[in-house]
Amino acid sequence: MIVARLFAVAIVILCASHLADARKRPAAAVPERFLCENLKIGCPKRLARPKLKRKASTKTTRPAAKTLAELPPEPAKPAPIKPIPKPEPPLEAKPIEPKQRQAVIAPIKPVEKPQSGEPMAPPPGAAPPPADADATCRSDIERLGGEIEIPQGFEPGQGCSVANPVQIESLRTRAGTVSLPGRPILNCTFARQFLTWLGDVAAPVVAAHEDSSLAALSTGSAYQCRGRIGEASARMSEHAFGNAIDIDAVIVGGKKRIEIAAVSDPANPAYRMLMALRISACGYFTTVLGPGSNAAHASHYHFDLGIHGKTGSYRVCE
């Protein structure tokens, strides 16, 4: 109750002060408005505004694109009508006549019998008879330009032998004819190899170095039935089989003699030429010895085709 009275007194005081102020304000200020503005009492309710209907849009919207599944299937196109071909007239069957083959019979040649004392010719396709190895070797030497003879009455000493012995006279080369005044006797195989080296290397090298052709070679031992280094008790030398030769001098055109011993002196003008002969011989022979090898070969070159060891797969080049 006390609170209600106090509230009423407060209202009266406010009303009195408001009336005093109202006299000063314009007439529009009324108590209802005061109560509404200050105490939120007696405020008129606002009427809700009617919602306006939106006008329908005049814009036309495009329909959404239909998917392939929604599209109606296209009508199938009718297949083109092919014209019916006209039937061809049937072919007339012709009988196949078999070809007649005539047998070709080759005339048989009579076999010619050899006359008495004549050998029969070998049948076609048969291998030719083996050639004479000795004659072939001598023919090779003649093609090389060598002039040789078969030594008459030649008989090797006891324990020595020379297969197919030949005696060399000279050799025709592009640089001129090289004579061998010692007329060495050698077996044909070694003589062929020696003349090949003489024509391929020795004659051109001497002609190029001396500005003159090689006229002759001074040879020492060729065939000689003896042991190695001249000892009778030693193993048989390759000289005993005509399988080696010694050269002690080179004779150039104009009768200039160049000793093989000059190869020991590098200052000698013929040193390079003599060394070229020595080194090149290592490609043609299995043994090459000379000055510096040992005392027995201090004055000459020794070439041979001996087999070293069991396999013979290496060479001696000193």
Which is more confident, 65 or 206?
206
Positive or negative CA dihedral for 280, 282, 283, 285?
positive
Q: Are 175 and 207 in contact (CB under 8 A)?
A: yes
pLDDT band per the 50, 70, 90 thresholds, residue 10 = confident
pLDDT band per the 50, 70, 90 thresholds, residue 108 = very low
Residue 228's DSSP bridge partners are none
**How many C-beta neighbours within 10 Å does residue 274 have?**
25
Range name among 77-86, 125-134, 165-174 with the lowest pLDDT average: 125-134
Q: What phi and psi, each to the nearest 5 degrees, are found at residue 156?
A: -65, 155
pLDDT digits (tens, 9 = 90+) for 132-183: 888 999 999 999 999 999 998 888 888 899 999 999 999 999 989 999 999 9
Report the share of the chain in percent with pLDDT over 70.
Answer: 61
Q: Residue 117 pLDDT more than 80?
A: no
What token pair was written down for 251? 């004779």
pTM of the model: 0.59
Amino acid 157: pLDDT: 82
Q: Are 273 and 295 in contact (CB under 8 A)?
A: no
What token pair was written down for 84? 């019916």
Longest pairwise C-alpha distance within the chain: 188
The residue ranges of every structural domain in the chain are: 133-317
Amino acid 191: pLDDT: 97
Q: Where are the alpha helices (DSSP H) in the chain?
A: 2-24, 31-34, 133-144, 188-197, 203-210, 271-281
Amino acid 54: pLDDT: 60
Residue 146's DSSP bridge partners are 171
Report the share of the chain in percent with pLDDT over 90.
Answer: 45
